[in-house]
Homo-oligomer: A and B are copies of this chain.
Amino acid sequence: MKKTLNVIKVGGKIVEDKASLERLLNAFCKIKGDKMLVCGGGRTATKVSEALGIPTEMVGGRRVTDAETLKVVTMVYAGLVNKQVVASLQAKGVNAIGLTGADLDCIHSERRPVGKINYGYVGDISEVKASAFANLIELGIIPVICPITHNGKGMLLNTNADTIASAVASAMADLYDVTLTFCFEKNGVLSNPEDEDSVIPEIRKADFIRLRDEGIVSEGMLPKLENAFKAIDAGVNKIVITNADNLGKDSGTEII
């Protein structure tokens, strides 16, 4: 029987707000057994870009990443956010280590080809080295991954944190019984975005297509769900989309 592994992704407003991040990290600490954290930081990157006078351009929820923006996201994701999270976890007795995809060569990506849009230094994941993470986990170390990858030729690339969480969970599913949880500021996938009580408890693939076609699910939720179904197809056991404050509780939306 495989050991269980919890992969938790946190992003959105949670990372930016000290109190909500603290609550999330406390809940993360309470999760028993092997675990990993994937931590975004897009809002902080936008603020630092602003302070540096670098314009932020988003297309379909994705950041267009020119050379200067790549520096900013590397500083914010791999430095500021990741190391603050690692230091907080260490203070709570969790032996965390912060990682980009370049560290241990754990997440390889290819720069996205220029199509209708030139996303710049954005990387699409080509390989996740599950063994690199497993080696750390076997030493009792908790990986904290930030959304920076590399192409193996010395170039860092900006990669969506939801996509990283799904790809990592998928790769780890060969070795572990994986549960992937997306934590954010809403209670789950809502049938009415204005009503936090309208959580859809379960979504199957057929439901997803209907929800998408009816426009009930849109914007930021679309890539999250697409990533989730990819992970299910790749062998991830369970996927939950829930409020960061409900991590560890039986709540939110389960993807089946």
Q: Enumerate chain A interface residues (CB-CB to B < 8 A).
A: 48, 51-53, 71, 74-80, 82-84, 86-88, 90-91, 95-100, 102-105, 135, 139, 141, 148, 150, 152-156
Known: A52-B52, A83-B74. A90 touches B150 (CB 8 A): yes
- Neighbour of A87 across the interface among B84, B86, B90, B150, CB < 8 A: B150
The interface residues of chain B lying within 8 Å CB-to-CB of A135 are: 139
Closest-CB distance, A44 to chain B (whole angstroms):
10
Q: Are A104 and B100 in contact (CB under 8 A)?
A: no
* CA distance in complex: A71, B81 (Å): 10
* CA distance in complex: A140, B84 (Å): 27
- Neighbour of A51 across the interface among B52, B102, B152, CB < 8 A: B52
Known: A75-B75, A105-B90, A139-B135. A83 touches B97 (CB 8 A): no
Known: A135-B139, A141-B104. A79 touches B84 (CB 8 A): no
Known: A83-B148, A86-B100. A91 touches B139 (CB 8 A): no
- Neighbour of A79 across the interface among B75, B86, B87, B91, CB < 8 A: B75
Known: A51-B52, A79-B80. A102 touches B87 (CB 8 A): yes
Q: Are A98 and B103 in contact (CB under 8 A)?
A: yes
Q: Are B154 and A91 in contact (CB under 8 A)?
A: yes
Known: A75-B80, A78-B79. A87 touches B155 (CB 8 A): yes
The interface residues of chain B lying within 8 Å CB-to-CB of A150 are: 87, 90
Known: A74-B79, A76-B79, A80-B71. A96 touches B87 (CB 8 A): no
The interface residues of chain B lying within 8 Å CB-to-CB of A155 are: 87
The interface residues of chain B lying within 8 Å CB-to-CB of A105 are: 90, 95
* CA distance in complex: A17, B96 (Å): 32
The interface residues of chain B lying within 8 Å CB-to-CB of A102 are: 83, 86-87, 90, 96, 98
